[in-house]
Structure 1
């Protein structure tokens, strides 16, 4: 069955996204080769004998041709099919590419005497045809890709394009350096570009069209064009953006093309080395593109442009101090900065134009935004090119440093880039955030964003070698309906204990299997969870994963995932994440779900933690206060978190009265004794001392009360704490009223034997003992911090302040002094448990999470 995905305009077949991908793959190759100011076109022109003024002029041709944009936009606005318009104008460009590829051969065979003039003529035609092509394509994509997803989509698109551009540039650059006759070499390279262009065109024909419902029916007239122009100029906010782009384009074009000329001529670098350095920028750009896309989507495009633009304004100064003796140090630093901040600027600059232009006249607004900046961008390289040729080889030589024509251009460019930023500040973008707030998010998140981006690059570069489908799935997420009804789940538990989370894994796994899913459990052999899983017939693997990346553990997980065709990995500990993530990547990115049961006291935003949580699809918190805590202390987005309470099997195990008589007989409780129970490890965090302090006050009113403390000891500190409790009880003379039952597995029987369940801890992470009490129709009492999320005060129990033994005593007495009241609270608790904490309902919530991460 063919999968479908919502694009905001309807539904498109899943196979369409493959065409999206391959259009980018083939389309980026000719773009890299003939990019104005790019290393290949610059080297091509130098081979044909062009001087700096001619190179500056040629690089400005595309922007000069943009003066026809308003007229071209009229064609786009009238067209019902922007796709057909884009294809109609882009096809001749592909044929003109063949002529460009033949020019070096004609020069080599003396078949042409003025190759630069001939190239300029062809290049003008290519640039002119690209104007309506670009307008139609941009308007077409603006309808296909929903506004809220553009940052994400175009960020992912840029990653694919960047990777292909990097690989193609390195290979073609090395080829040109190796081939002895450059004219033949450039003919071959540009011929490859032409072939890729035709393949890109073919893929473009396969992408669905969108009907232009706002297509204009007006006939062409200059008066109509001028009215449209007046409409654009009347939009003062949009025009501020246009004036910014005009000033920014001038400052960029002033030095843009001459950076490559500077490296090839002044620094005598090979094409391969120039491309290799540019790869540093590309990788930085690609790694941070997803991060900037998210920032732009969340906070707005203008703040991103301001942050990135200010940094980019300083990069020409680095060019000005670059010398043959130091370029191996400065240029890598320069390209890291450039790649990092151009990633954000380009995404935001593209998105803000779409956002501020009205949909009805978008093509015309876009054309004006192309027209005015094109004039300044055309002028700038002519001035700087003429300046470089006029100064020539004259320079001020200080031995360790010289100041010549290129250095002057770079310094002037640095000054020019400060002016446009002032204009951008006056642009108003709806829902934009303050730059200071965005800057704080950038500072705290950019390291994690870079790490996440490296992980994304890993997916795109490494995984396609074995799993090419990852590319398509990551470009645009396509819904996979093959596994909607059943899942293959790997439950991973690293703990050696058998407490809340370990019990939850067993009960959840049983329920999942009952619902038709396949469950595999990975645990350390010899632990209680491992033994219990084996006893109950689960497929269990012995694996002690650990915190640090371990190739042997990764390979073990890889084999398990592949053998059982695992579709969701559910980890119950942060400790194991690094190895799980790496194994997941080698198995076509199986989504990871993490359950978190504990409170985090310290903020953890380090690089490793950020990387781990960037690769977790969903984090499940055992209580809502834990969910809020992990959002505050860990690098996880709120949208990737969810609260799912611990579930209990209310049908078979947690049945009121099922174990009561036998359990009370076992402890020797009489019929009249009222048992108050606290379950939890004997340590200071569980605050058994608060209950001991409250006991005398309780016994004054309820002399028949007995206190049951259930929980084991894990270390020497716990033993010391227990000894102190016993001493305190003897001093108070109520030692006979307390029973230390130690660690017990029969918690259901313990709860059933009790009249009241108490929790004195400040952070009762899962609140499971209170939930267990409610399941067995027992009233419950808990602290404001630990129990308030589970207890409805005076309905199914009482809430008291943490550490306040007097209030605890009042709560216990108010519940137990009237038997009917205690019974009614117990019934209400059972009702709440059935509505919220029933295992079958919790399992459905977990299943839904599995389904979401698969989608």
Structure 2
């Protein structure tokens, strides 16, 4: 029988390999959905907005279903594997989009991207709960910062390679995108292989027959406070997502090669900063560093619209990648920190359900603001909301610090 330390080491190793395969899948697909939709399928601004928002509203329904299922599972690994497999099957459907009548292609592709998030959100929820149980609290900041760094290096390498290959094809050619969808499906199978190599300790589920919708999470005040901060930040963060795609492709006329370079620049910024964010989180806390991170994220939309020069836009992505690294690491760590271990799945699912609502509304708000006003106004609005969330996270930090001090005093008096 393996010792706990040996089991943790084995799980961390396989989690990195699983994550690398998953990152390659996403790098081959998500990075180029908008480019494929605009350049090959002729999608409208509204349809491009739906590529960002539709998966979120579909994901909300998935989270409700996932919450019920997760509360009844004694083992999460097998369920997570099946969910990932179903998600990756949608990539095969995307391969066949080009064989549909011209007028249906863009809409079918948008629907496939959206519906793929039904099993995708469930797999994400189950993976978060699964990995949260496997990685000890003391290892989280160090392990996830290192894991994210390794995954980002893998993503950067594959994205750069894809960008170079795309240069060999006409920007309106569907062939390279079809090849990417098929290859991504293959790496999805590798992703599942390494997930199944994790060692999971079976847990006995209390009241197994009772359906749990996860509402017990709202009885925990630190979680509620985190929800307010996290959702406000995510609205400003995600409302700019379709705007970046529309600006870069339609106004800066970026090709597949430059889209790849933008992604590589962003990933390079993440690689250079993941460890730093992990160290700072351990030193100053996740909440305090999130306040700093939000201000940096706030600068990105405004900086992006200052020029259509493609080299400049690559540098902006390099800069924003530094703060994306902090956002990804700190938000997840903070979510785990405000979640109780005995019913962590409830906290994660409720956060993701509400995040899905924001994820649907925010990109639509961004596109609506663009149609109503201008690209400059819409991007600057996103910047203001992002930066303002820094003050909200700072409030959260001082409130949690005050609550912690108060609890220690009460404990001492007892």
Give the TM-score normalised by the residue count of structure 1: 0.44
- In structure 1, the partner of 2:26 is 31
**In the alignment, which of 328, 340, 352 is matched to residue 370 of structure 1?**
352
- In structure 2, the partner of 1:406 is 375
Change (3 A) 1:124 1:282: closer
- In structure 2, the partner of 1:418 is 387
Deviations 1:65-104 (A, max 9, x none): 2322133112112100011221122211122221112223
2 CA distance for matches of 1:309 and 1:198? Answer: 36
Change (3 A) 1:415 1:14: closer
- Aligned with 1:425: secondary structure? helix
Q: Does 1:183 align with 2:166?
A: no
Q: Does 1:379 align with 2:361?
A: yes
Deviations 1:90-144 (A, max 9, x none): 211122221112223x15xx5x640122223323331011122111111111111
Q: Which of the pair has more CA radius of gyration?
A: 1
2 CA distance for matches of 1:49 and 1:70? Answer: 34
RMSD over aligned Cα atoms: 2.5
Q: Does 1:204 align with 2:204?
A: no
Change (3 A) 1:174 1:379: same
Superposition deviation, residue 213 in structure 1: 3.6
1 CA distance for matches of 2:396 and 2:8? Answer: 39
How many pairs were matched up? 399
2 CA distance for matches of 1:196 and 1:82? Answer: 21
Change (3 A) 1:122 1:279: closer
CA contact (8 A) 2:11 2:134 kept: no
- Aligned with 2:200: secondary structure? coil
2 CA distance for matches of 1:238 and 1:97? Answer: 35
- In structure 2, the partner of 1:138 is 128
2 CA distance for matches of 1:131 and 1:274? Answer: 26
1 CA distance for matches of 2:129 and 2:304? Answer: 37
Alignment of 1:642-791 (within 5 A): none
Change (3 A) 1:349 1:13: closer
Alignment of 1:53-202 (within 5 A): 53-68=46-61, 69-104=63-98, 106-107=99-100, 110=101, 113-180=103-170, 182-202=173-193
Deviations 1:429-483 (A, max 9, x none): 89869xxxxxxxxxxxxxxxxxxxxxxxxxxxxxxxxxxxxxxxxxxxxxxxxxx
- Aligned with 2:7: secondary structure? strand
- In structure 2, the partner of 1:464 is none
Change (3 A) 1:89 1:78: same
Deviations 1:226-258 (A, max 9, x none): xx42x3333232112112222112111211122
Q: Name the structure where helix makes up a greater proportion of residues.
A: 2
1 CA distance for matches of 2:196 and 2:394? Answer: 40
- In structure 2, the partner of 1:43 is 35
CA contact (8 A) 2:235 2:362 kept: yes
Structure 2: give runs of 5+ residues left out of the alignment: 403-414
Give the TM-score normalised by the residue count of structure 2: 0.89
Alignment of 1:407-806 (within 5 A): 407-427=376-396
Q: Name the structure where strand makes up a greater proportion of residues.
A: 1
Superposition deviation, residue 334 in structure 1: 2.2
1 CA distance for matches of 2:400 and 2:370? Answer: 44
2 CA distance for matches of 1:14 and 1:363? Answer: 23
2 CA distance for matches of 1:90 and 1:417? Answer: 32
Structure 1: give runs of 5+ residues left out of the alignment: 392-404, 434-855
1 CA distance for matches of 2:269 and 2:146? Answer: 14
Superposition deviation, residue 309 in structure 1: 1.1
2 CA distance for matches of 1:20 and 1:314? Answer: 33
2 CA distance for matches of 1:374 and 1:66? Answer: 6
Change (3 A) 1:239 1:18: closer
- Aligned with 1:207: secondary structure? coil
CA contact (8 A) 1:299 1:432 kept: no
Deviations 1:315-367 (A, max 9, x none): 2221232234xx534x3442233122222232111101011011122111111
- Aligned with 1:114: secondary structure? helix
